[in-house]
Structure 1
Amino acid sequence: MGTSERKEREKERKKELILESAEQLILEKGLDHLNMDEVAERAEVSKGSLYHYFKNKTDLVLGICNKATGMLSQEIAKVITRDLSGIEMVYTIGATFLNFVRDHPEFFRSMRFFDNLKETSQLDDSEYISSCQSNMETSFTTMVRAIQIGMQDGSINSSYDPKELAVLLWSTSQGLVNMAYLHQNTPHFQLLEKNQIEVTGMFESYMKLIGQGIATEDGEITDDLKSIFETEKD
């Protein structure tokens, strides 16, 4: 390995260490309390080195968002390679999204941060904007492809426009995933507890409701969907 390759690997290793340190602090203290001084201390790098990789806190959080959306996009893309009907792919993509958020709440916080910044000038200074957007668009395209596969194999009603249906599914699932996030990470959010609603059961009901609306008679899934949620967390 040449000198330039070693330097590049060391640069990437240090950047990943900074990201991991920031992720840990977000889990411990929350995104609002993320502090660049503490990130530098946790990562054991100088402040100058930290600012060499990330211009400011916004840039750092968007770096986490880039990592998060890339990971999620890869996990969703794997669903298309599995031997499933289109309607099963749609269910599994939804479950993949939910499980990802429950396993990585710090990543979801960075994704919410990105969404909230989309209309501000703060986005102009970060190199991670286009890659975050590209990763999200890739996930959306995968959902569209799953719907198209379902229409081709007869498991999804072909009277819908695939892109419009994907937008509908993506937006409604975002709301449910956000509620699951609040349930797991926000102590004052008591809506589910007060109504004795369990997250996975709620998502199963949503999937069944969606299935009744878009699945053909041949594609309707009547089996228990619980196995789809492989990393269930309450």
Structure 2
Amino acid sequence: MSSTPATGRVATRRTRTRAALLEAAERAFVRHGFNGVTMERLAEEADVSVGSIYGHFSNKDGLYVAVATRAVELFGEYLQRAYAASDSPLEQVMTAGDAYLRFHLEHPGRFRFIAFDGVESRPSIANDAEDRVLAERLAAVLDGFRDRIGAAVACGEAGPHVDPELTARFLFGAWNGMVALTLRHDALGLDDAGISACTMQARRIVVEGLTAPAHRGGDGRATARLLDLPSAPPATG
């Protein structure tokens, strides 16, 4: 029993070290790209030894996958908040558009691991189990979004012409493309305010295209609300 407090302190310290490494790695990968990051640089930024990094992650690829996995998990939490905002599947789908915007605004570093398959190409490790798990987790998050679109079709809010799988992929790609405009430095670039306005315009266009006739008002417009999510509390871990 006397070793329990010490064991707890070790576990807490290990958790904090891992969190510090993930934070430092996210910043470094975004700033320098995968190939520009060394374990020595990460150790210095996180104020730990290189050996400590290897004690938590098998190698740089493993650390990269852990950072990306954390981004996927947080993205999934944002979408779950969108689904909880309404009992209407169609409104849930449209609120997910705002959730995606919020995710970018509040966590721009993590957003890049979702939107662009990472921040820079890495040596191919397509058969690596960790990479497959990461891809499966992101696919599962998008499958949940697809299922919300399917529910909107099933209850008659969205028209029978809507293919849930294709629509989910289209919207994911469209949102990626819009937010990616913040990375441009030419006349096509948009600031955060511009992206917010663009996203709202896109949501209006999409909801009109999805809505079945029975769920339109006397003016022919969709009755589904375009809900916005409040800012999320700071992410931990």
Residue 15 (1) aligns with residue 18 (2)? yes
Query: In the aligned structure 1, how far is the partner of 2:52 from the partner of 2:124?
Result: 25
CA positional deviation for 1:75 = 1.9
CA positional deviation for 1:7 = 4.3
CA contact (8 A) 1:79 1:92 kept: yes
CA contact (8 A) 2:22 2:63 kept: yes
CA positional deviation for 1:136 = 0.9
CA positional deviation for 1:78 = 3.0
CA contact (8 A) 2:82 2:229 kept: no
For residues 94-143 of structure 1, the C-alpha deviation after alignment (integer angstroms, 9 at most, x for no partner) is 1111210222121123333538658x523545x64234223212221221
CA positional deviation for 1:25 = 4.0
Q: 1:92-131 maps to which residues of 2 (within 5 A)?
A: 92-111=95-114, 112-114=116-118, 117=121, 121-124=124-127, 128-131=130-133
Q: 2:66 aligns with which of 63, 76, 79?
A: 63
The TM-score normalised by the length of structure 2 is: 0.76
CA positional deviation for 1:3 = 6.2
CA positional deviation for 1:173 = 2.1
CA positional deviation for 1:165 = 2.0
Q: 2:78 aligns with which of 75, 78, 103?
A: 75
Query: In the aligned structure 2, how far is the partner of 1:18 from the partner of 1:145?
Result: 35
Counterpart residue number, 1:215: 211
Counterpart residue number, 2:48: 45
CA contact (8 A) 1:117 1:123 kept: no
CA contact (8 A) 1:95 1:229 kept: yes
Distance change in 2, residues 1:56/1:42 (3 Å):
same
Distance change in 2, residues 1:191/1:163 (3 Å):
same
In structure 2, give the amino acid aligned to 1:89.
Q
Distance change in 2, residues 1:84/1:130 (3 Å):
same
Residue 132 (1) aligns with residue 134 (2)? yes
Counterpart residue number, 2:201: 205
Q: 1:161 aligns with which of 163, 170, 175?
A: 163
Q: 1:191 aligns with which of 188, 193, 200?
A: 188
In structure 2, give the amino acid aligned to 1:43.
A
Aligned residues: CA RMSD: 3.1
Q: 2:143 aligns with which of 141, 144, 154?
A: 141
Distance change in 2, residues 1:224/1:161 (3 Å):
closer
Ranges in structure 1 where 5+ consecutive residues have no aligned partner = none
Query: In the aligned structure 1, how far is the partner of 2:16 from the partner of 2:187?
Result: 40
The TM-score normalised by the length of structure 1 is: 0.77
Ranges in structure 2 where 5+ consecutive residues have no aligned partner = 232-237
For residues 69-100 of structure 1, the C-alpha deviation after alignment (integer angstroms, 9 at most, x for no partner) is 01111221233333332221111111111210
Distance change in 2, residues 1:137/1:159 (3 Å):
same
Distance change in 2, residues 1:31/1:109 (3 Å):
farther
Distance change in 2, residues 1:106/1:55 (3 Å):
same
| Number of aligned residue pairs | 220
